[in-house]
Structure 1
Amino acid sequence: MKKILLASVALFGFAGTAFAADLPVRAAPPAPVIAAVPVFTWTGFYVGVNAGYGWHTNNESVFVPGVGLVDTGSDGGFVGGGQIGYNYQIGSFVIGVETDLQYADLGGNRNAFLVGTPGSVAFNNNSSDNYFGTVRARAGVAFDRALVYATGGFAYGDVGGSFGGGGSNGGWTLGGGVEYAFTNNLTAKVEGLYVNLERNNDRFVVGTPVDFVSNKNNEFAVVRAGLNYKFSSY
């Protein structure tokens, strides 16, 4: 009887082991997928607006026969407009190109008076409500979301550099700035430019010849702040 009981226990134990071996093995739960945080890059197209202050860095003079040079002064005022460009980042270096078009109110009326006829106006020049634009290369170094850059290239415009009606002129520009990306798409910048445009040579006759002295180009400086929207490149 005892042998029969031991044999029964052994048989049931073997059967239980075999049944457990046939049960499916429970798989471990999959590891959670964590999306990688995108690394910020300056690469991409952007558009933006800007506003600031500009001022002539040279005086404008006229020559009045019998009198000599008459200094008509230099002026400054509001500048503002828009820009569009493209950046490409290689490591910590950023290169790109940008073009902008600006409204420029760099002065008011300028009058020259002939000595001997007090109060009579030889000519009048209104140099406000003018414009200028630039097409520039940019190159700089990025410190994550901060960019320090230099810029320079072609400049054009009419900022009152020619008496008696003005006119569009070409020239060059140099400058630099600092830009910071406070989101992946919005950046803000502070920028300074020096612009040098060729000046037209005008001649007026008001009883006696009055020659505009154009021994200096039309030079002015601009300090402005800007806001850009950068299209995502990832």
Structure 2
Amino acid sequence: MKKILLSTVAFVGLTVSAAAADLPSRAAPAMMAPVPVFTWTGFYVGVNAGYGWNANDNNDLVDPITGIAIGGGGDDGGFVGGAQLGYNYQMGMFVLGAETDIQYADLGNRIRFEGLGVIDNGSDNEFFGTTRLRAGVAFDRFLAYATGGVAYADSNFGWTVGAGVEYAFTNNLTAKVEGLYVNLDGDDDRNFGIAFAGNNNNEFGVVRAGLNYKFSSY
């Protein structure tokens, strides 16, 4: 009887062990790395190109002695291109940043003197730069922003304001389109005994497209 009982217990144990071996594995599933959410935060560098045009209001010229108008000016435009460097910081939907750029500008405000033809008034700048703050609202990879700050060219300084839109094609590559108005202080030009009737500020507008590489911030 004892042998029969022991044999039965052993048989039951082997059966339970075999059944347990056939049960599906309860191992924890493999963890998937979360996909990083896009952010505008980070440093970036880029290039830009576009068109600029003079918007000077100093087109009327007068003889300083007689006060008689003797000529006028024309607003010229041309190629604008350069490079930029900046940093953005995103807080929810809002993006704050700073950007500086250096630009080549093929602009020149030429003045027509009666009887003397057309000469350069000396106010065109082949190079100019800006240092600006940017503030915008982000809709995922789309950013709309306003910008403003200081502008400079040669020994002249002034200010600039503008706005733009930017889109991130990848986590690192973005493209933008923006417009700027630039106003640089200038001295009165009295060459040939001639003076401007108004101020001699160098004012111009710029519309440009740019491509930026944003360094990863995660």
Task: Give the TM-score band, short-chain normalised.
Answer: 0.7 to 0.9
TM-score, normalised to structure 2, is 0.85
Whether 1:46 aligns to 2:41 is no
Whether 1:153 aligns to 2:149 is yes
Q: Which has the higher contact order (CA 8 A, sep 6+)?
A: 2
DSSP-derived class of the 1:199 partner: coil
DSSP-derived class of the 2:194 partner: strand
Letter of the 2:138 partner, please give it: A
Whichever of the two has the greater Rg, that structure is: 1
Q: Identity over aligned residues, as a percent?
A: 57
Query: What stretches of structure 2 of length at least 5 have no aligned partner?
Result: none
| Distance in 2 separating the partners of 1:35 and 1:218 | 55
* Distance apart, 1:19 and its partner CA: 5.3
For residue 157 of structure 2, the aligned residue among 146, 170, 177 is: 170
DSSP-derived class of the 1:13 partner: helix
Query: What stretches of structure 1 of length at least 5 have no aligned partner?
Result: 158-166
Q: 1:36 to 1:16 in 2, by over 3 A?
A: same
Letter of the 1:88 partner, please give it: Y
Letter of the 1:221 partner, please give it: G
| Distance in 1 separating the partners of 2:139 and 2:201 | 38
* Distance apart, 1:122 and its partner CA: 8.7
Whether 1:179 aligns to 2:166 is yes
Q: Which residue of 2 aligns with 1:137?
A: 133
Question: Are the equivalent residues in 1 in contact too, given 2:145–2:165 (CA < 8 A)?
Answer: yes
Aligned residues: 211
Whether 1:30 aligns to 2:28 is yes
Question: Are the equivalent residues in 1 in contact too, given 2:184–2:201 (CA < 8 A)?
Answer: yes
Q: Which residue of 1 aligns with 2:10?
A: 15
* Distance apart, 1:79 and its partner CA: 0.3
Whether 1:92 aligns to 2:93 is yes
CA RMSD of superposed structures (Å) = 2.6
DSSP-derived class of the 2:6 partner: helix
Question: Are the equivalent residues in 1 in contact too, given 2:75–2:110 (CA < 8 A)?
Answer: no
Question: Are the equivalent residues in 1 in contact too, given 2:70–2:113 (CA < 8 A)?
Answer: no
Question: Are the equivalent residues in 2 in contact too, given 1:107–1:127 (CA < 8 A)?
Answer: yes
Question: Are the equivalent residues in 1 in contact too, given 2:61–2:196 (CA < 8 A)?
Answer: yes
Q: Which residue of 2 aligns with 1:55?
A: 53
Q: 1:122 to 1:32 in 2, by over 3 A?
A: closer
Letter of the 1:94 partner, please give it: V
TM-score, normalised to structure 1, is 0.80
* Distance apart, 1:48 and its partner CA: 0.2
| Distance in 2 separating the partners of 1:112 and 1:9 | 129
